[in-house]
Structure 1
Amino acid sequence: MKTTLIICIFALGGWWTQGETTTHEFQKTVVSDSLKVDPVCKMKVKASSSIKSTFNKKEYVFCSKSCQMKFDKSPEKYLK
C-alpha cells in the first residue's frame, strides 16, 4: 500500500511540473520576442526602442545614446 502511494505521488509530481515547464517556456518565448540585446553593454532593451542604428542592413537597438555612439564608431568591435 505504501509503495503504491509513493508511486502515485511521484507520477502526479511529474505531471504537475511538466505543465509548469510548458508555461514557463511559453512566457520565455513571449519575453524574448519583445526584447533585444544592446550589442555594446549586453543590456536587454525593448525592440521598440527609439535609439537605433543600422549596420549591414540589420537594425540594432540600444539602451542609451552613449551605447549607440560607441557602436556607430566601431560596429565590428561589438558584433564579434
Structure 2
Amino acid sequence: MSQPVPAPARFLASVEPGTRVVVRYEIEGGLTDALGHLLGCDAGSCTVRTRQADVVIPLERVVAAKEVPPAPPRRPRAAR
C-alpha cells in the first residue's frame, strides 16, 4: 500500500508554475525556507526560483508550503 501524499506536496502539485510560494523544508540541523516562483513539481521534487538560485526540494522533506503575494516593489537607491 502506498503512503498518502502529504498536504504540502499536494498543494505544490496543484499550483500553476510561476506562482509565488514559500516552501519550508528540512535540512541537516533544522528547517529552512525557499521563497520564490514555483518552476515545477513532479512526483519526487519541486523547484523554486529564489533570488539567489533555483532550489530543488525533495517532496519528502517539505513540511509546509503556501502561496504568497507578489513581492513589494524595490525602493530606488538613495542619491549620494
Indicate the TM-score class for this superposition, using the shorter chain for normalisation.
under 0.3
**TM, length-normalised to structure 1:** 0.22
Which structure's residues are more often strand, by fraction?
2
Which structure's residues are more often helix, by fraction?
1
